[in-house]
Structure 1
Amino acid sequence: MALRISVFASKELQQTIAILKGVDKDISKAIRIHIRSITSGEWAEAVRGRTSNAQEVKVLANTARVLVSNQNITLRAGHIGKALSGGAKPSDIVRPVEFGAPQNTVNTYTARSRKGKTFRVTRHTNRQFRGPSRTGYAVYPAASKVIPRIASLFVQTTIRTFFEGFERAGRG
């Protein structure tokens, strides 16, 4: 799941993006790299702090990443990673891990024994997930906590890097 930080809620973010549009490509690249290095650790720790079991850590916290561009910052979780030990990819089960799933879901199918007899199998396929939650368990609460901090870092880092580059250009 990907959460994009909206710049329409803040004049400071809109002005920062306007600054980035007029800055040299090397400076904007340095700003993006610096912001990503600072915010990726905070995002991963915020998600990890809200996980409560190993499945959530593997699917959400271990795959938490920050993507930074000149226009926005995107917080992601559950998009990368190799298949888990049971065979499921994190991207396939990220929604039920974050928002839960109905516990009474039953999957019934017909199987065949080694001797050729058919029989019905009933499995409860969602018992490994928590119960349903509209607000999420780890990613969305972490995002609401960390987005103001990341937006502030975005503005501060952009302004500081821009003026440091401006001062270096003035001296040289």
Structure 2
Amino acid sequence: MLSIEGNDELRAVAFGMKFIERDVKNAVNRATRAELKPIWRAELDVSLAGTNTFTSRILKGARVSPGNPPTVYAATSRRGIGKDKRLNPAEHYYLGEFGARDSLYRTYTRQSENGGSHTVKRRTNTGLPHAIRKGRVVYPAAAQAAPRLASLWVQTFVRTVYEAADAK
């Protein structure tokens, strides 16, 4: 999504993070997490606003991981959802983000009541959202938030390094 190749400011921050002292780097990371997380959550909430309940439940657990560069996550929860708790957002996020083709049939063999067996052909994806390649929530939210998050990361780095230099 974002690359430091075409942007001198991002390249400078990425190299600067390698050379600053550990305590200043920790301060940058703390400030990055504190400032980027509300923006990322707000952007995800805007994208989730018009979706169905399944999508909003499976894409919960948004967070920002500071680093070089910082990483944004959605659907990090491992707590199961649904009646039988078999779906967990960290593993099955793609069902809410990209959907599934409901025209797929699954064929399996089962035992009948009289002891014989027979083949059953069923559509098992009928309750899921329709398939969308470009994503319906996280990808559009990331496209909207990425320029703002990158700019804020650069500003946070410069401000924190400046404050650390002033303190010495």
Query: Same fold by TM (over 0.5)?
Result: yes
Instruction: Sort the Cα spacing of 1:115 and 1:90 in 2 relative to 1 into closer, same or farther, 3 A.
Output: farther
Q: What is the aligned partner in structure 1 of residue 29 from structure 2?
A: 32
- Count how many residue pairs are aligned between Structure 1 and Structure 2: 164
- Between stretches 93-102 and 112-121, larger displacement belongs to 112-121
Correspondence for 1:55 = 54
Q: Confirm whether residue 130 of structure 1 aligns to residue 129 of structure 2.
A: yes
Whether the 8 Å CA contact 1:102–1:132 is kept in 2: the answer is yes
Q: TM-score, normalised by structure 1?
A: 0.84
Kindly provide the amino acid, as one letter, of the partner of residue 139 in structure 1. V
State the partner residue of 2:99.
100
Letter in 2 for 1:8: E
For 2:96 and 2:150, the matched residues in 1 are separated by 27
Q: CA deviation at 1:114?
A: 6.0
Aligned-partner Cα distance in 1 for 2:123–2:12: 52
Task: Using the TM superposition, name which of 44-53 and 138-147 deviates more.
Answer: 44-53
1:45 to 1:81, Cα distance in 2 relative to 1, 3 A: farther
State the distance in 1 between where 2:61 and 2:114 align.
44
Separation (CA, whole Å) in 2 of partners of 1:65 and 1:114: 50
Structure 1: 5+ residue stretches without partners: none
The alignment status of 1:41 with 2:20, answered yes or no, reads no
Contact 1:5/1:72 (CA < 8 Å) preserved in 2?
A: no
SS at match of 1:167: helix
SS in 1 for 2:110: strand
1:90-125, CA deviations, whole angstroms, 9 ceiling, x for partnerless residues? 233222321121121122322235664545444322
Counting only pairs closer than 5 Å after superposition, residues 1-172 of structure 1 correspond to structure 2 as 5-51=2-48, 52-60=51-59, 62-69=60-67, 71-85=68-82, 86=84, 87-112=86-111, 116-169=115-168
Q: CA RMSD in A?
A: 2.0
* Deviates most, 149-158 or 114-123: 114-123
Q: CA deviation at 1:25?
A: 0.6
Q: Which moved more, 1:104-113 or 1:20-29?
A: 104-113
